[in-house]
Amino acid sequence: MNRSRAQIVGGLALALFALTGCGAARPTQTPIPTRIVPLQEALTARPPLPATWTPVPTFTPLPTRTPILTDTPAPTLSAAQICERFKVVSSPTGRLDYAATGQFIWQDAPRGSFVGVAVRLAGSSSGISLIVPVDGSGVFTFPLTRLPDGENYTWRVSVLSTEQAELCAVEGTFSRAPKP
């Protein structure tokens, strides 16, 4: 066994370090109490806290009742009030390219109602129609290539009640260039 000098020095240093804790002094034993003090005597024998440490009793009032806020329902609008507020702010008008995009934008439809959109070939029942639930404003965009071949079209945007009865409608027309 060939040990290097560093290993031997390291081992001796470790042994010397371990032996430094060994000394001549012996530990002393903890003294045993000579008398057991009863609890009541121990509690009364303690001096009272200084006055600054003694808490002063304070009155804490009971919490007051806070009313719970409830939502106030919006008043029910009449059909005339609904139609007065409802507006179609953008719709296809004039003559449009064959592959153009049509767009309807409406505002102020009542919460919980429906809006119906219908685009028809003039003098026909063929075209696009849909009913969407709304809460205020909405947008419907569609490619004109989805319409049946023709040149003149009518459109109708209606506010529908929750039973889908028509309350009021806005109507218009537009034309589309022939297929190239």
Report the pLDDT value the prediction gives residue 105, as an integer from 0 to 100: 94
**In terms of pTM, does the model score above 0.75?**
no
CATH, range 82-176: 2.60.40.2550
Query: DSSP labels for 14-55?
Result: HHHHHHTT--SPPPPPPPPPS-PPPHHHHHHHSPPPPGGGSP
Report the pLDDT value the prediction gives residue 18, as an integer from 0 to 100: 65
CA end-to-end span of the chain:
100
Residue ranges per domain, the chain? 82-176
The parts of the chain modelled with pLDDT lower than 50 are 1
Report the pLDDT value the prediction gives residue 179, as an integer from 0 to 100: 86
Report the pLDDT value the prediction gives residue 158, as an integer from 0 to 100: 94
Among the listed residues 110, 154, 151, the one whose alpha carbon sits nearest the alpha carbon of residue 133: 110
Alpha-carbon span 160 to 172, nearest angstrom:
18
Alpha-carbon span 75 to 149, nearest angstrom:
45
| Model pLDDT for residues 23-44, shown as the tens digit of each residue | 566 777 777 777 777 777 766 6
Q: Assign 3-state DSSP to the chain and report helix, strand, coil percentages, each to 5.
A: 20, 35, 45
